[in-house]
C-alpha cells in the first residue's frame, strides 16, 4: 500500500512545537506505517471468483458469497424482488427446512445473513475458524438448492410488508427513499431495494425462481474469505463447496441500468400528521464507482458532509443546534449513483436546514477548499477507510462492494494513496460538474403545517403530497 501520502499529510497538520508541556498538547510522534497486502484472486473452473484477504490475530473468518446482480434487476412492477429472493434462500433447501437452517447456522456460532442491494445479492456468515467448512457447506446449500416454498414466500412477504410499514413511519427514512426516487426518476436505481408494499404483494413464486435461475450462477458470483485463512486453504474449501456448481450453457444476460431521468424537480413536502421531526433530504444523480473523478468526489463529500467536522455538521449541528447530525453520502454504484444530504430536525426548522444545505453546496462550487481544511478532511476519510480493514466483516464488505461495482479488488490497496493525491481544484471541479444548483431534488417529510409557510416562502414551487398519497414505485412519487 502507498502510505507515503498519508504520512506526508500527517506531518502537514502537526501543531507548533510544544513549549509548555502542560498548557499545549505535545507534538505527534513519528507515524507508524501499516502494510495492506492485495487480496488473492483465484477462479474455479466453473467461473466462480474466489478472493481472500488474510487478517490474523483472532480465530475468525467471514465467508461471503456475492452474486453480482441485485436490486437494479428488479422489474419495474416488482421492486424488492431481488431482496426478497435473497432472503428466501435461507428459508428452506432441498434437504433442510427454514428452522433447520437457522438452527445449523447458529449452532456454528454465526448468523446466516442474506439480502440484496444495488448490483449485488449476498449470503454471509462469520464463524470461528474450526467451523468454517461447515458454514461454507451451509452457504453453498442455500445458494444452490433453495426450495422457495410457497408458504415461505407468503411468510417472507408478510414480514417484509410489516417491516416497511414501520420503516416508512419514520420521517427520515421516507424522505430519503422519496428523494432517491426523485433523483433517479424511472431509472432502475430509483426504487427502494426493499421494495414497496404494493410491489411485494405482486411477487409470484415463479418470479423468484426465474430470478434465481438467471442470476445465481458461478460465472456471476464471487466467494470472499477474510480473516484467519490463507489463499490455499480458501481455494480448497471453495472447491469442496462450490466446485460442482455447474455453469449454465446459456450466456449470462446483462442487467442494464437505465440512466437517471428525474421527473419531479420542484421541492416536495410529504405531509406526515404528528411526525415528531421533519426528515430533510437533498438528492442528486451522481457518478459511477469507476468514474475517473470518483476519488475527488469522495473528498468533496468529506469536505461537505461526511464526518463530524464536515461543513454541514459544523453549520447545522455545531453552530445552529438544529439537528443531532447531518451527513452526506456519495453512493457510487456500478452504472451511476446518487449523492444524498440528509438530516432530521424539529419541524419548524426544516426550511432553514434545507437552505443551509444548499448554501454549503454552493460554497463548494464557488470557493477552493483551504489547504488545512482539505488535508484534515482527507485524513478523516483515509482514517475511516483504514479502520474498515480492522474487522473481518468490514474487510469482506469492502471487497464485496468492489466486486459488485466492477472494480479490481486490488484497488483497496490503492485507495489511500489516491485519496491523498486529490487536490483542491479537483474538489472544486467535481462540485461544479455534479452539484449544480439545479441538480438537487429536495424532499421534506414531516408535520407539514409546522413548516409549510416558511417552505413556500423559500421555495414557491413546493408540492405537498399527503403521506397516504406517496407511491415510491412511480417516478412522479404520486399514486
Partner 1 sequence: MKASRIVSWNGFIAMRLCFPSWSSAILLVLASWHALAVPLDVRPLEFRERVLANGLRVVTLEDHSSPTVSVQMWYEVGGKDDPAGRSGFAHLFEHMMFKSTKNLAAEQFDRMTEDVGGNNNASTGDDVTNYFSTVPSNHLERLLWAEAERLQNLNVVDENFRSERAVVQEEYRQRVLASPYGRFYESMAPRSYTTHPYKRGVIGNIDELEAASVDDVRAFHRTYYRPDNAILIVTGDFDQKELDAWIDRYFGSIPKPSTPIPRVTAVEPPRTRAAGYRETGPNVPLPAVALTWLAPSARSPDAAALKVAAALLGNGESSRINQALVYRGQIAQKASFGTDLRVDTGLLIAYAIASKDTLPAKLVAALKKEIDALARAPVSAAELDKVKTQLLTQALIERQTPLGKGMALGEAIVVLGDARRVNRELADLQAVTAADVQRVVRKYLIDAPAVTIEYAQQAKS
- For 234, the grid coordinates are 480458501
How many whole angstroms separate alpha carbon 379 and alpha carbon 23?
Answer: 26
**Comparison of 106 and 408: residue with beta carbon closer to partner 1:** 106
How many whole angstroms separate alpha carbon 8 and alpha carbon 375?
Answer: 10
CB of 235 to partner 1, least distance (A): 21
Tell which residue, 165, 161, 101, has the closest CA to residue 134: 101
CB of 450 to partner 1, least distance (A): 12
How many whole angstroms separate alpha carbon 304 and alpha carbon 292?
Answer: 20
**Comparison of 30 and 94: residue with beta carbon closer to partner 1:** 30
CB of 258 to partner 1, least distance (A): 32
DSSP assignment of 244-302: T-PPPSSPPPP---PPPB----S-EEEE-TT-SSEEEEEEEEE--TT-TTHHHHHHHHH
CB of 473 to partner 1, least distance (A): 19
**Comparison of 187 and 392: residue with beta carbon closer to partner 1:** 392
CB of 292 to partner 1, least distance (A): 25
- What residues contact residue 361 under an 8 Å CB cut-off, 6+ apart? 282, 304, 341, 431, 435, 440
First to last CA, the chain: 51
CB of 352 to partner 1, least distance (A): 12
Which DSSP state fits 119? T
CB of 478 to partner 1, least distance (A): 21
**Comparison of 247 and 320: residue with beta carbon closer to partner 1:** 320
**Comparison of 152 and 207: residue with beta carbon closer to partner 1:** 152
**Comparison of 219 and 471: residue with beta carbon closer to partner 1:** 471
Residue whose C-alpha cell is 436505481: 189
- For 326, the grid coordinates are 447531518
CB of 427 to partner 1, least distance (A): 17
- What residues contact residue 20 under an 8 Å CB cut-off, 6+ apart? none
**Comparison of 169 and 213: residue with beta carbon closer to partner 1:** 169
**Mode of pairing for the β-strands spanning 120-128 and 268-271:** unpaired
Contact assessment for residue 196 and residue 474, using Cβ atoms and an 8 Å cutoff: no
**Comparison of 337 and 420: residue with beta carbon closer to partner 1:** 420
How many whole angstroms separate alpha carbon 2 and alpha carbon 264?
Answer: 44
Amino acid at each position: 500500500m502507498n502510505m507515503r501520502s498519508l504520512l506526508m499529510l500527517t506531518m502537514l497538520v502537526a501543531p507548533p512545537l510544544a513549549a509548555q508541556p502542560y498548557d499545549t498538547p505535545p507534538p505527534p510522534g513519528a507515524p507508524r506505517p501499516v502494510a495492506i497486502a492485495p487480496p488473492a484472486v483465484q477462479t474455479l473452473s466453473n467461473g466462480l471468483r474466489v478472493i481472500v484477504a488474510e487478517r490474523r490475530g483472532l480465530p475468525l473468518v467471514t465467508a461471503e458469497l456475492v452474486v453480482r446482480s441485485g436490486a437494479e434487476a428488479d422489474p419495474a412492477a416488482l421492486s424488492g424482488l431481488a431482496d426478497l429472493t435473497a432472503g428466501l434462500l435461507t428459508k428452506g433447501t432441498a434437504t433442510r427446512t427454514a428452522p433447520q437452517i437457522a438452527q445449523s447456522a447458529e449452532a456454528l456460532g454465526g448468523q446466516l445473513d442474506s439480502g440484496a442491494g444495488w448490483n449485488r445479492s449476498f449470503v454471509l456468515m462469520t464463524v470461528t475458524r474450526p467451523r468454517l467448512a461447515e458454514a461454507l457447506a451451509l452457504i453453498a446449500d442455500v445458494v444452490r438448492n433453495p426450495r422457495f416454498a410457497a408458504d415461505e414466500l407468503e411468510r417472507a412477504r408478510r414480514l417484509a410488508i410489516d417491516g416497511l410499514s414501520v420503516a416508512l413511519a419514520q420521517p427520515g427514512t421516507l424522505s430519503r427513499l422519496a428523494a432517491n426516487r426523485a433523483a433517479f426518476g424511472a431509472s432502475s436505481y430509483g426504487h427502494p431495494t426493499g421494495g414497496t408494499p404494493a410491489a411485494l404483494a405482486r411477487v409470484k413464486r415463479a418470479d423468484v425462481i426465474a430470478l434465481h435461475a438467471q442470476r445465481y450462477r458461478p460465472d456471476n458470483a464471487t466467494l470472499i474469505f477474510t480473516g484467519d485463512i490463507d489463499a490455499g486453504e480458501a481455494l480448497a474449501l471453495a472447491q469442496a463447496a462450490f466446485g460442482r456448481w455447474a455453469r449454465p450453457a446459456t450466456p449470462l444476460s446483462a442487467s442494464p441500468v437505465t440512466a437517471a431521468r428525474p421527473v419531479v424537480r420542484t421541492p416536495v413536502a410529504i405531509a406526515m400528521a404528528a411526525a415528531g421531526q421533519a426528515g430533510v433530504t437533498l438528492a442528486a444523480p451522481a457518478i459511477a464507482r469507476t468514474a475517473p473523478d470518483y476519488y475527488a468526489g469522495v473528498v468533496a463529500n468529506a469536505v461537505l458532509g461526511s464526518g463530524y467536522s464536515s461543513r454541514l455538521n459544523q453549520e447545522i449541528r455545531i453552530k445552529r443546534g438544529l439537528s443531532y447530525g447531518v451527513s452526506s453520502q456519495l453512493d457510487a454504484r456500478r452504472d451511476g449513483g446518487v449523492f444524498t444530504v440528509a438530516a432530521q430536525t424539529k419541524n419548524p426548522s426544516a426550511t432553514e436546514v434545507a437552505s443551509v444545505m444548499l448554501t454549503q453546496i454552493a460554497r463548494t462550487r464557488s470557493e477552493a477548499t483551504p489547504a488545512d481544511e482539505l488535508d484534515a478532511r482527507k485524513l478523516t476519510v483515509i482514517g475511516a477507510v483504514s479502520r474498515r480493514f480492522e474487522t473481518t466483516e468490514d474487510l469482506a464488505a469492502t471487497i464485496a462492494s468492489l466486486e459488485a461495482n466492477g472494480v479490481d479488488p486490488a484497488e483497496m490497496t490503492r485507495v489511500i494513496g489516491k485519496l491523498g493525491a486529490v487536490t483542491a481544484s479537483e474538489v472544486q471541479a467535481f462540485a461544479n460538474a455534479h452539484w449544480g444548483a439545479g441538480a438537487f431534488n429536495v424532499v421534506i417529510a414531516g408535520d407539514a403545517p409546522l413548516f409549510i409557510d416558511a417552505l413556500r416562502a423559500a421555495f414557491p414551487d413546493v408540492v405537498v403530497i399527503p403521506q397516504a398519497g406517496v407511491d415510491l414505485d412511480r417516478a412522479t412519487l404520486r399514486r
